[in-house]
Structures are given as structure tokens and as C-alpha cells.
Structure 1
Amino acid sequence: MDDFVIPFKGLSIGNHIFKFKIGDAFFKSFEYFENIGGKAVLDIDLLREPNMMILGFSIEGKLKLQCDRCLGFFSQGINGKNQLIVKFGDKFVEESEDVIVIPQTESRIDIRQYVFEYICLSLPFRKVHPADSKGNSGCNPEITNRIGTYSKRDADPRWDVLKDIKL
């Protein structure tokens, strides 16, 4: 998938703007995104310097996520900004989460994995349907009722004796 490759070798010193469209094909190419779809736009502001590049990532869009509670699908907006610093050196090295070193002989950079990670960071930790205007859960009521029925635990009568202990 060469859709997310930026050829930087011939770029002049200064700022360069790149736009990418992210769609269902991108999400299906990652195992983690098997239940995620949608569309987003990625804007990259690349600042080219003689010995390094600074890539500013800006991702905005609407994703179709699967609810953790009822397994139904809902729409979730995402909006994230991240920065990646790319230094030129002798070999590939990941110095930190946002600083990498690539060989000076490289002529392009594949940002696909970074886009994946930045989208993951912009997703909510707990993916559930948003509440309606009255504050009620947007989850499928049939499923949530069924979950409530099966998740009730009967008290173990052996422990009832402990309730009578006076401390």
C-alpha cells in the first residue's frame, strides 16, 4: 500500500503540505481495525531541513465504531494532532515515540504505521453509544436488558453468616 508514502528526496528546504484520504480500505488493512470503518482526512505539514524533517499530522473525520457494551455500531468523530521528527543518520533508529532516525540514503518515508498509531490514540478508551438528549443510553435496549439478566449474581448463602458479625 503505497498510498501513505511521502517522497522527500527532491523536496526543497521549507514547508510542504500533503493531503491523504483515509477510508475503509486503510482500516481493513490492519487487524486491530477489523470492526472499524469510516472516513477521515489526514493533512501533513512537512518542514524539510537539511538534516531533519518535522511532520505535523492533523487527522479529522468520522469513524464507525463497534460499541463495547451492545456490539452495535455508532458514529464517532475523531480529531487529533501529532508530530513526528525524522532525523537523518546512518541506520534506522527509533529514539522515542516521536523521534526517529532514518538512513541518509532513504528517499521516501512510509507514514502508514504512524497514521495507524495516531488514529488509535484519538479513539476513546471506552467505545459506547453516546447518550440521547434525555441522557439515556444509545445502546440497543434488547441487548442491554439481556446483559442485565445474565450478569445478576445470586448471593452465596454461605457468606450470610458474616453479616451477623458485630464489630
Structure 2
Amino acid sequence: MNVLEAYQIPILSLEDKVYQYSFTGNEEFFAAFEQEWVQKGEFNANATLDKSATMIQVRLVIDGHLKLICDRSNEEFEFPIHLDEKIIYKYSDHNEDMGDNLFLLDRKSPKLDLSQDLFDFIALQVPMKKLHPRFVKPLEEHVDGELIYTTDPEDDKNADQEPEMDPRWAALKKLTDNN
């Protein structure tokens, strides 16, 4: 049996109402995509499928972690993921990706395969620079979620003094001041 078949939902026999589905994934799921971007990790996904006569709306809530290799130390570490995404499938006479999580879905499609969408959402969580948590500076606690800009106190002392001018510029400035 193909590992990705577990992420397919039979939709032809569904009535127009809301359905709940749960999926789990691990290394076997990531290996099925034959790529090197994400190889290890585990996740739980809850899908809320709202079927109507003209479309299917799917809300995916994904929680889990990926095992990544730190770019700096080459150590493996767990990278937490939490996603809440919405996908809309509008019924049509053919399948087509319209972008921005909007798809045309052939009315005759017997199943809705969420495996690629799950993988894409998870893979997009992988940061460009993968750093072990010990290399990441913790964010300071902010009051009421506001971002507070702070400066180094040494910078305030130096702000009152004019920066020293390059002697070459100083010589040129003397020439312009004489006019």
C-alpha cells in the first residue's frame, strides 16, 4: 500500500455538510516525496472539510516538529511547527492550481488527496537558515505584544558628540568654507 493513500478523502459520496478528519505523519510520509528538504519529523493534522454544491473548503491545523540539521554546528535538533491553513477547491470540468490555496477540482474526482498540500505547508516552515535553538537569541518580553525599539546606552553617549571627520574630507571642507 502506498503511504500517501492514507491522506486521501473519498468525496463523491459526501453530503453537503462539515466533516472532520485526522492524519498523522512521520519519516515514511516525508520519504514518499523523494526530496531532501524535509526527511525527519512527526506531525498531527486535523482537517475540517466543509462541502457545498459548488466548492469544498478545507481548514488544516498541523502541529508537530521537524528534525533539522543545524547549519552552524551540524547537530540535529527539533524544530516545532504549528500551522493553520485554508484551501478552497472549486468544482470545475478539470483540475488546475489557481495559486493562493485555490484549486479547480474536477467534479468527477472520486478522492481529494491532501498529501501534497500537507507536505507543501510543512516544507514551507523550514527556515532558510537552520540554527540550533542554543544559537538563537531569545526575544525580549514585550508589554501588550508591542515591539519596543531599544538602543545600546553607549550609543546615547556617543550621539551627543560629532563623529570624527576623515582628514581628507576636512581638507575639502576648508576649501568650500573659504568661498
What TM-score range do you get, normalising by the shorter chain?
0.7 to 0.9
Residue matched to 1:90: 93
Does structure 1 residue 31 correspond to structure 2 residue 34? yes
Q: What are structure 2's unaligned runs of at least 5 residues?
A: 138-166, 170-179
Identity of aligned residues (%): 24
Q: How many residues align?
A: 138
Residues 37 and 123 of structure 2 are in contact (CA less than 8 Å); yes or no, is this contact kept in structure 1? no
CA shift, 1:34, in A, is 5.8
CA distance in 2, matches of 1:122, 1:34: 11
1:71 alignment partner, SS class: coil
Residues 38 and 66 of structure 2 are in contact (CA less than 8 Å); yes or no, is this contact kept in structure 1? no
Specify whether residues 14 and 33 from structure 1 end up closer, same or farther in structure 2 by C-alpha distance, changes over 3 A only: farther
Residues 67 and 78 of structure 2 are in contact (CA less than 8 Å); yes or no, is this contact kept in structure 1? yes
Show structure 1 runs of 4+ deviating over 4 A. none
CA shift, 1:83, in A, is 0.8
1:31 alignment partner, SS class: coil
2:74 alignment partner, SS class: coil
Q: TM-score normalised to the size of structure 2? A: 0.70
Residues 38 and 123 of structure 2 are in contact (CA less than 8 Å); yes or no, is this contact kept in structure 1? no
CA distance in 2, matches of 1:23, 1:58: 16
Residues 97 and 103 of structure 2 are in contact (CA less than 8 Å); yes or no, is this contact kept in structure 1? yes
Does structure 1 residue 115 correspond to structure 2 residue 147? no
Q: TM-score normalised to the size of structure 1? A: 0.75
Q: What are structure 1's unaligned runs of at least 5 residues?
A: 136-164
CA shift, 1:30, in A, is 2.3
CA shift, 1:119, in A, is 0.2
1:122 alignment partner, SS class: coil
CA shift, 1:166, in A, is 4.3
Residues 90 and 103 of structure 1 are in contact (CA less than 8 Å); yes or no, is this contact kept in structure 2? yes
Structural mapping, 1:46-61, within 5 Å: 46-61=49-64
Residue matched to 2:132: 129
1:32 alignment partner, SS class: coil
Residue matched to 1:156: none
Residue matched to 1:140: none
CA distance in 1, matches of 2:102, 2:96: 9
1:127 alignment partner, SS class: coil
Residues 17 and 44 of structure 1 are in contact (CA less than 8 Å); yes or no, is this contact kept in structure 2? yes
Does structure 1 residue 15 correspond to structure 2 residue 18? yes
CA distance in 2, matches of 1:5, 1:37: 22
2:84 to 78, 81, 100: 81
CA distance in 2, matches of 1:96, 1:15: 24
